[in-house]
Structure 1
Amino acid sequence: MSRPKTRTALAMLSIPVGIALTGYLISSSLQLGQLLRIDLASYAVPSAGLAIALVCAILLMAGRVRIARRIVILYLVLSAADLVAGVALLVAGLTSYTGGEGGTRLLLDSVLLWLSNIQIFALIYWTLDAALWSPTGVGRRRHFFFPQHVDKLPGYETWEPSLFSYVYLAFTISTTYGPTDMPATSDTAKALAMVQAIIALALFTLTIARAVAIIG
């Protein structure tokens, strides 16, 4: 079991842990089960996602990259569905948050969903773009170009973006509504960036603004 594989697996697992924590803290009325009208415990989806991510990390450490990628995709589908459900339920139920306590709860739920948005899309971009997933260990097609690739900076000739690079990418999209110094080159990457930006925009303009207004 090589150290690079272990570090990669632990880094990958840190994001599902963060997503699970936000899932545990968010209001139960914003869970995926509420949208599907399924009677699920509030911790069911975050716990299931964490279990799937743990299996994936173990497979990565064992060198089973192809199987691990399939499991990551399964995890991302579940997490993205939970995120979209949470945002949709939050926007639809804005009027149910009233009073100072309701405004504080709305602000907390909005921030938690905003953090989930960053974490989930960071993992999506990493799964889509990272060289780890190609059979030769070298990216065959880049969906995002980082400054180190475009400008051919000295000392970065063999540089490959880490998972944190994609966290930074997702953070910039959620705060500026588009990639800044890391342009999306493929249609898939552009579409994903648009979806992430729309979610972030909805959370900022609709929910967080209303929460501040209620509290104020």
Structure 2
Amino acid sequence: MARERDTARIRHPRHERRGEARLPAVVATLAAIGLYLALPQQLLIAPRYVLPALELLLLIAINPRRLTRQTKTFRVLSLTLVLTIAAGNLAALGLLIDQLVHAKAQDGRSLLIAALQVWLTNIIVFGLAYWELDRGGPVSRTQEPREKLPLADFRFSQDENDDAVGEVADGASKTSDWVPTLMDYLYVSVTNSTAFSPTDTMPLSTRAKLMMAIQSVAALMTSLLVIARAVSILH
């Protein structure tokens, strides 16, 4: 226990200066692409393989093993990839709702599965978006000194734990130089999609509040309207 607390300052990616590993983001992106490919044809805004092919090309173009350097082109491609996935998923949600409103959907089972796919993709893509934008993105968070980081979009609990009891304070941002990784942003996305509001991580910037609002509304519509209608069809 004492050894763990003594080494708290060297356990986090900022101190390794090797940057955050890209693999978790690649896995999350591939999962979102797979979920899109599995959607019913009537929920696709283009031929099935057009958007996934574009997303794979963008993913290959921005796929270093570790995020230690960032160019303007790299930044634009990364954000374009997230935006493309988000646009495809929100369009699928819109088409799904249209199917319900106009009584075009009769297969409740496939509708339930499609709603789950859209909901899961919603979690993934917004988690990636938060990860790409907060404090300048994953490269800035691990490579830049704190005094040079852009203003934070989110306030994590670690950002205010430095005055707590020792075993909590030793892992705080101020004490250990902790910074969030992709898993932290995916957690924020999960809680926002299930509670329809922030939980322990608060949005600070206007864009963070806007994104969380869009995600909450999309998740609410999926959970209350789509799933409720699908269950009624099954009955």
Give the TM-score, by structure 2 length.
0.80
The Cα shift of 1:62 comes to 7.5
CA RMSD of aligned residues (A): 2.0
Aligned to 2:208: 189
Aligned to 1:97: 105
2:198 aligned to which of 171, 179, 194:
179
Q: 1:62 to 1:123 in 2, by over 3 A?
A: closer
Q: Give 5+ residue unaligned stretches, structure 1.
A: 34-39
Residues 173-194 of structure 1, C-alpha deviations (whole Å, 9 max, x = no match)? 0000011000001111001100
Q: Is the 8 A contact 2:158 2:171 kept in 1?
A: no
- Tell me if 1:57 matches 2:63: yes
1:127 aligned to which of 109, 114, 132:
132
Aligned to 1:84: 90
Matched position secondary structure for 1:65: coil
Q: 1:57 to 1:137 in 2, by over 3 A?
A: farther
- AA aligned opposite 2:192: I
Please identify which structure carries the higher helix content.
1
- Tell me if 1:9 matches 2:15: no
In the TM superposition, 1:153-164 aligns within 5 A as 153-156=169-172, 157=175, 158-164=177-183
Identity %: 28
Q: Is the 8 A contact 1:13 1:54 kept in 2?
A: no
Question: Counterparts of 1:96 and 1:124 in 2: how far apart (Å)?
Answer: 32
Q: Give 5+ residue unaligned stretches, structure 2.
A: 1-15, 163-168
Question: Counterparts of 1:148 and 1:3 in 2: how far apart (Å)?
Answer: 20
Aligned to 1:68: 74
Aligned to 2:158: 148
Aligned residues: 203
Question: Counterparts of 1:4 and 1:63 in 2: how far apart (Å)?
Answer: 6
Q: Is the 8 A contact 1:122 1:170 kept in 2?
A: yes
Q: Is the 8 A contact 2:45 2:88 kept in 1?
A: yes
Matched position secondary structure for 2:124: helix
- Tell me if 1:202 matches 2:221: yes
Query: Whose Rg is larger?
Result: 2
Question: Counterparts of 2:67 and 2:196 in 1: how far apart (Å)?
Answer: 37
Q: 1:47 to 1:3 in 2, by over 3 A?
A: farther
Question: Counterparts of 1:84 and 1:51 in 2: how far apart (Å)?
Answer: 21
